[in-house]
Amino acid sequence: MNRFPLSFSSLRARWRAGLPLRYTMMVVVVVGVTLPALLLLTLEQELAEKSQKALLAQSETALMKIGSVSIAEPMWVVDRVALDAAAVRLLESPQVVAVRIEDGLANTPELERVRPDYGKTLATETAAGSLTRRTQTVVRSGEVLGTLVVWFDATYGQGLLQARRSQMLSLVALQVLAILAVLMPVLVSRVLRPIERLKEQASALLDHGQDSTVDRARFVWRRQDELGLLGRHLGRVQEELRTLFGQLGTKNAQLQQMAFYDQLTGLPNRALFIDLVQREMLQAHRSQQQFGIFFIDLDRFKAVNDSMGHAAGDELLIEVARRLRDTLREVDVVCRQSGDEFLVMVSDIDHWESLGEMAERILRVVEEPVQLANTTVRVSASIGIALFPEDAQDFETLVKHADIAVYQAKTLGRARYSFFHSELNFRLQASLELEQQLAHAIAHGELVLHYQPQVDAMTGRLVAVEALVRWQHPTRGLLLPGQFIGLAEESGKIAEMGVWTLREACRQLADWKARGIHVGNMAVNVSALEFRDHRLLDSLQAALAASGIAPNELEIEITESVLMAETETSQRIIERLRQLGVGIAIDDFGTGYSSLAYLKRLRPNQLKIDRSFVNDADVDSDSRAIVRGVVGLANALGLNVVAEGVETVEQQAFLRESGCHTLQGYYIARPLAVDALEVWMAARHNKETA
């Protein structure tokens, strides 16, 4: 019982997978021939059955009429012998199974005759549908004599229909076989064999693609039908492929070059370098040796690329690559990783000091001048060195550690090399952890502002306070800006910190004003990254609007080096600040570039003399001269001068004598929290009124 479902499932799976073309065509032809014949046979059988049923019904009606006429006379004269003979004659019809004559006038018993060979019950078979019961009233001269009841065989004629069906099936089978006998040879000769030949021709194309050195046979097609046309097209494709494979064979070496070598410098690329380093790792493991990885990053390459163009930058990279090849040994491998970064695998080293000697040679040859577009340029390199297997035992970690060493070399001043040590990695991880903590601090209110007073040099009156950010670290305590500002600039958090500082400083000034506490103006430092950010003006306006203070009560402090870096951009930003009414101060004045022309163009509100000049003013004549010069220049330009870092009474006296307008420093007051500053102000007020 389970064989058929399994066979059907396997057949269905085979059909889904795809039958061969010859079988598919055979199935299509057989189905195409057989299906219409079977449909026609079914239709013919239905029509024949309907016709036969109609004829049988007419025959039964005729027999009933003939029977009623034949028994009318015997029933009139009450001749039971004649009635019995008439019933027997009706039974002679093959359709009739039984006859019953019911006399309606005489009190004679009814006459019933059943075919001798029929042994079933009439009532049961009639109910089952095997017999059809018909009744006919017997009438003579308008008078009803009785009733004629006849049982007909309902299955009469089914044998004829079955015989006819068998004959038609035989005819259909012969027809299908005849058609297949004619169509299949034509199909095989005109379709299947040409398709097999096309298949062989296509296979020859694939084989040719796999082995272009083998000369494959050429197929010649003389047929003019569609298959012949397709064959000739394949032949032309085969010829074209022969040509293309020949060309591809000559270019294979070029493709290998492109896949494993840098197109600009001709050095191995990262993919080939990884493979070579991994092989060297296996060899070093077996022989218990070590080798080094150099991570070389060119210094000042971006300046050359930006100022002289990418073509000059490419020439510089080509020259550096040539120098590296000439400097390194044959056993060493140098690759260009990306941009201005190179990797070097130094093999067969006796001790780690030899890596330092090789790094020194590389630094010297890179620093030699390069002639680019009639201009001599100089670049340097920072090199990070990692050792296998001491620093790492896989390629990615080894390069990562060499990169960390490069960062250390750049931190130490560039143009040098640095070895990777575990403490470097620890310091990097600590820096990353502190960066995450700084983001949390900005978002969760761990930053606070301290305020350092600025007083009038002559009267000592409080004229302004400078807002200085502090970090109230949950475990390390209060951190000063020098411990996290650089990290904020590197991580991009300085903009968020600047927005918070502006908003908080303006809010605190508004709070003091609301409570009647006069602190003068509010000075806020702005870093270089904040100053160049287009969102600075939006942050300023938002802070002023939220606090309600006047723009002239806020002062932005910017270092001299920031203004000199991009004078046109600085000019536009300062003009916008001036339009807003915000004051501008140049912080650390005198420590930047020696050009004073920007003062005329930018016109800040005040200059802040750097503390380095103030600290030496009481002992160094040069510092005293610089302070007096700055004050004189500021007075000539109508600018206010603030002296930072005032720590002694002697410095205060000298600055007053020099004409400095405002003083700020530890001698006046340290940066104080809000409560401490208010206490300081109250004590100073009491002292002045005492």
Domain residue ranges of the chain, discontinuous segments joined by +: 50-156, 183-253, 261-420, 433-685
pLDDT band at 407 (very low <50, low <70, confident <90, very high): confident
pLDDT, position 19: 60
| pLDDT of 346 | 92
The secondary structure element, H or E, covering residue 604 is none
- For the sheet with 96-103, list strands across it: 111-114, 96-103, 143-153, 131-140
Which pTM was predicted? 0.49
- Between residues 221 and 687, which one has the greater pLDDT? 687
- Quickly count helices (H) and strands (E) in the chain: 24, 20
593 has a pLDDT exceeding 70: no
What gap in Å lies between CA 19 and CA 4, rounded to an integer? 20
- Out of 29-33, 112-116, 499-503, 574-578, which region has the weakest mean confidence (pLDDT)? 29-33
User: How many Å apart are CA 409 and CA 417, to the nearest integer?
Assistant: 6
Cα(171)–Cα(555) distance, integer angstroms:
111
Is residue 454 within 8 Å of 520, Cβ to Cβ? yes
d(CA 412, CA 250): 51
Mean pLDDT of 653-675: 92
Q: Indicate the class that CATH gives domain 433-685.
A: alpha beta
278: tokens are 């991994």
Burial of 201 (0-12, 13-18, 19+ CB in 10 A): buried
Of residues 302 and 324, which shows the higher confidence score? Answer: 324
Q: Report pLDDT for 449.
A: 95
Mean pLDDT of 105-116: 77
- Give the highest mean pLDDT range of 272-281, 296-305, 582-591, 605-614: 272-281
d(CA 314, CA 305) in angstroms, rounded, equals 8
Is the model more confident about 381 or about 162?
Answer: 381
SS3 112: strand
Least confident of 39-53, 444-458, 550-564: 39-53
- Whether 74 has a pLDDT exceeding 70, the answer reads yes
**Domain 50-156 part of CATH 3.40.50.10190:** no
**276 C-beta neighbours (distance < 10 Å), count:** 16
Q: Domain 261-420, what fold? A: Alpha-Beta Plaits (3.30.70)
Least confident of 6-20, 62-76, 603-617: 6-20
Confidence of residue 213 (pLDDT cuts 50, 70, 90): very low
Of the listed ranges 179-193, 352-366, 465-479, 612-626, the one predicted with least confidence: 179-193
Q: Please state, rounded to an integer, the average pLDDT across all residues of the chain.
A: 82
pLDDT at residue 518 tops 90: yes
Provide the token pair at 429.
């991880």
- Report the amino acid identity of residue 228: G
- Residue 92: pLDDT band with limits 50, 70, 90: confident
Predicted local distance difference test score (pLDDT) of residue 276: 92
